[in-house]
Structure 1
Amino acid sequence: MSAPPPAPLQHSPLHERHVALGAKLAEFGGWEMPLEYTGVLKEHAAVREAVGLFDVSHLGKIDVRGPGALELLNRCLTNDLRRVAPGEAQYTLVCDDATGGVVDDLIAYVHDDDHVLLVPNAANTAEILRRLRAVAPAGIELTDQHTSHAVLAVQGPLCDAVLDAVGLPTGHDYMSFRVAEVEGVEVVVCRTGYTGERGYELVAPAEVAPALWDALVAGGAAAGLVPCGLGARDTLRTEMGYPLHGQDISLDVTPVQARLGWAVGWDKPEFWGREVLTEQRAAGPRVVLRGLVATGRGIARPGMSVKITRDLPIGHVTSGTFSPTLRKGVALALINAQVQLGAEVLVDVRGRGEVFVVTKPPFVQAGVRGS
C-alpha cells in the first residue's frame, strides 16, 4: 500500500499579504510561512537597528478558562505561575512526566486565576491540548485558537513608535501585556518576543489580522519598519541563545541538560517530570547545552559532530548559523558537561575540524527589556 498523501499546509490569515510582497515561503511546523522577503541579512539588521514586523501566526494559541485554571496549569507546567500577577506572562515548559524530556516550551499569559492564555509552538499545540485535557477537571475549558487567531510580532528598538502610530498601548514592562481593541475586537498586546530586542507580540482574531498588518506597515514607515521572515527570526534567536524546540530541546533533552533550570519551580510540590528532573539536577547532567563561537570562518549546522580532539567526540551541534551581528559562526551544542567555558573544540564541518570556543550565550548584547 502506498503512503497516505501529506496533510496540506496551513496558511496564516496574512498569507495573501506575504504572496503580494513576494515572500519566499517555506514549511514550518505544518504551516507555509514567509522565510524571507528582501533577504535574511537585511531583515536581521532591521530588527537590531530599527524595527521588523513578523507574522508568527503558526504559533499555537490555547485559551484556558474556568475556576482554578491557573492552579491546574501550575500542577502541570514547570515554572511557578504563583509568581505571576494578572497582566503578566511567564516562560515555562511542558515536560514528560516519565522522562523529564521537553514536550514543548511556551509562554503563559495570566489574565486572572480563572483565565490563562498559552502560546506553544506550532507542531506541538495538539499534543499540549491532549495532555492538558486528559487531566482537566469538569469546569475547565481548553479552547484551541490555533487557526482562529493570528500573532504579529513587532520587534526592534523603534517598536514603540510603530504601536503608538496605530493607537496600541506601549511602555508596559517586559513579560507583561495589555488588552486593547481593534475594529471592535480584543487584541492582546504582549511585551514579549524571540529576537532579543525590545518588542511586542499581538494576539488578534484572524479576521482583523490583515487590517492590523496594513496599519502596522503604514504606521512603521517613518521608523523604517521592514517585514521579516522566519529566517531572520532564527538568526536573531540563535544570537541570543534562545532554544528552538525540535533542535535544542525535545523529548530527548531535559531542562536540566538545556540549562533551563531557571524556568522550573523547584520548590513546587507538583509538576510534570518533577521526580526525574529533581534526581537529574542533584546528580548533575552528563551533557549540557552550551554556546559555541567560531574562531575562523566555519559555520556550524545542526547535527555536526563536536570533538575535543579529532578522535574524541563530545557531542553535537543542535543549532548553528552565521551571526550577521558578529560576522562569524555561532551555535548551540549538546556537549559533555565536563567541558568548561573558554575551551576550544572542533566542529566537523564537511570533514574539516573548525575551531570554536565554548561560550555562555547570549552571543550579542540583549536589548529585550529596553529602556
Structure 2
Amino acid sequence: MSPLTSPLHDRHVAAGAKLADFSGWSMPIEYAGGGVLAEHAAVRDGVGLFDVSHLGTGTVRGPGAAALVDAALTNDLSRIGPGQAQYTLCCLPDGDPQAGGVIDDLIVYLHGPDDVLLVPNAANAAEVLDRLAEAAPAGVTVENRHADVAVLAVQGPRSLQVLELLGLPGELAYMSFVTGTGGGGAEVTVCRTGYTGEHGYELLVPADRAGELWDAILEAGQDLGIRPCGLGARDTLRTEMGYALHGHELSRGITPNQARVGWAVGWKKPAFWGREALLAEKEAGPARLLWGLRADGRGIPRPGMSVLDGDGTRVGEVTSGTFSPTLRTGIALALLDAAAGVADGAELAVDVRGRPQTVHVVRPPFVPSHVR
C-alpha cells in the first residue's frame, strides 16, 4: 500500500526534500541545501516552517461534546476555557490487560462545551476517534477530518515576526488559539504551541488552501532566514526538550506515570479511561521512570539500546536517542528501573553496538525551553 501524501507533497518534492514513510505518510525528513543541522539551527536561532499534516484532526460536536472528551481523556478540561488548547492522553480503559497504557497523546482545542477539535498523531487518529464515537451519547457526533485539514508549524524566536508580516494574530498566551485570515484569504486557526521548545505556532488550514499558506509563510520569512524543516529536525529539537513521542516514550506498554507526564492527568476527576489503574500505579510508584542521558564520548545512543550500571547490569532501555546539534554530543531519553535507585547526575553506560558509552543522567530539558 502506497503511503499517503500531504497536501504540500509537490512543494516538498520541488524543494528537494528527502522523503520517507512516517506512520503511513510520505513526509519530508530534510531538505536540500542544509539538512537536519541547518534546519535545527534555524529553529533555535531564527525561524523554521514544518509541514505536520500527517497529524490527525477530528471534531466532536453536539450537546455534551466537551463532557464526553473530559470523561474519556486524562487531562481536566475544566482547567481551560474556550479559545484554549490542552495536552492530554487517551489511555486504555480499566479492565484492559494494559489499562493505563497510552493509545495516543494529543492536543484538544476547546471551542466551547458543544464543539471540540482534536489533533492526535497520525498512526492513532482513527482509533482515538473511533473509541470516542463508540462512547458518544445521542446527539454528539465524532468526525474524522484528517483529509480536510492541513497543519503547519512556524517555530523559532522570529516566528511572531513572520505571523505579523502575514497579518495573522500572534500575540497569544501559550496554548491559546484564535482564527485569522492569511495565505490568500484562507481561514487559519492559529495556536501558540509547538513541539520544539521555542516560541512558535501551529496553524490549521483547509487542506486545499495549504499550498497558498505555505508559500506565503516562506515569502514573508525570507528576510528573516526562514527554512523549511523536515521531521529529522523536529525529532532532534523535541529530544533536546525531553518531549515524549508516542511509540517511544509513550505506548500501550508505557503509562503516563512512567513517562513523567502525570501533569497531564486530572487526578481529581471522577472519570477518565484507565483512571483506577493509573491511580494504583501512582500510589505504589511506577516500576520504571523516564530520564535523560547525556553522552560523554562520541557514541550516539539509539532507541532499543541497553542502559547499564557500573557493574554492567542492565537497568533500562533507550527510548529515543540522537546527536544534539546544540550540545554537539549524543543525548537520549530512557526508561530506567526505579529499583536501580538512579538519581540526577549518576554515571551509567549505554551499550552502543557492543561498546559501553559513558553517559550521565539528567532531568530534561537538555537545553533551555522558550515556550512560555
Question: What is the TM-score with the length of structure 1 in the denominator?
Answer: 0.96
Letter of the 1:339 partner, please give it: V
Distance in 1 between residues matched to 2:24 and 2:310, nearest whole Å? 39
1:21 equivalent to 2:22? Answer no
Shift of 1:147: 1.2
User: Residue 187 of structure 1: SS of its match in structure 2?
Assistant: strand
Residue 245 of structure 1 and its aligned partner are, at CA, apart by 0.3
> Match of 1:79?
75
Secondary structure, aligned partner of 2:20:
strand
CA distance in 1, matches of 2:186, 2:154: 19
What SS does the aligned partner of 1:57 have? coil
SS at match of 2:308: strand
Aligned match of 1:368 in 362, 367, 371?
Answer: 371
The aligned residue for residue 351 of structure 2 is 348
Which stretch shows the higher mean deviation, 290-299 or 47-56?
290-299
For residues 39-77 of structure 1, what are the alpha-carbon distances to aligned partners after superposition, in whole Å with 9 as ceiling and x for unaligned? 000000000000000000000001111111111100000
SS in 1 for 2:72: coil
SS for the counterpart of 1:163 is helix
Q: Distance in 1 between matches of 2:160 and 2:200?
A: 8
Structure 2 matches for 1:236-247, cutoff 5 A? 236-247=237-248
Aligned with residue 360 of structure 2, among 352, 357, 366: 357
The TM-score with structure 2 as length reference comes to 0.96
SS at match of 1:309: coil
What is the number of equivalent residue pairs in this alignment?
A: 363
Once the two structures are superposed, the pairs formed by residues 67-106 of structure 1 within 5 Å of their partners are 67-97=63-93, 98=96, 99-106=99-106
Partners of 2:139 and 2:223 lie apart in 1 by 48
The aligned counterpart of 2:320 is 319
Q: Which runs of 5+ in 2 are unaligned?
A: none
For residues 221 and 203 of structure 2, the distance between their equivalents in structure 1, rounded to whole angstroms, comes to 15
Structure 2 match to 1:33: 27
SS state at 2:218 partner: helix
CA offset at residue 309 of structure 1?
3.0
Structure 1 residue 186, shift from structure 2 partner = 2.8
Q: Counterpart amino acid of 1:15?
A: H
| Contact 2:300–2:331 (Cα < 8 Å) also in 1 | yes
| Deviation string, structure 1 residues 301-327 (Cα, Å, up to 9, x no partner) | 000000113531001000000000000
Which residue matches 2:132?
132
Answer yes or no: is the 8 Å Cα contact 2:167–2:181 preserved in 1: no
> Does 139-148 or 315-324 show the bigger shift?
139-148
Q: Distance in 1 between matches of 2:72 and 2:344?
A: 33
User: Structure 1 residue 270: deviation in Å?
Assistant: 0.2
CA RMSD of aligned residues (A): 0.9
Question: Is the CA contact 1:70–1:116 (under 8 Å) kept in the aligned structure 2?
Answer: yes
Classify the secondary structure of the residue corresponding to 1:117.
Answer: strand
The whole-number CA distance in structure 2 between the counterparts of 1:340 and 1:165 is 47
- Contact 1:310–1:353 (CA<8 Å) still a contact in 2? no
The worse-fitting range, judged by mean Cα deviation, of 107-116 and 228-237 is 107-116
- Identical columns (%): 61
Letter in 1 for 2:189: V
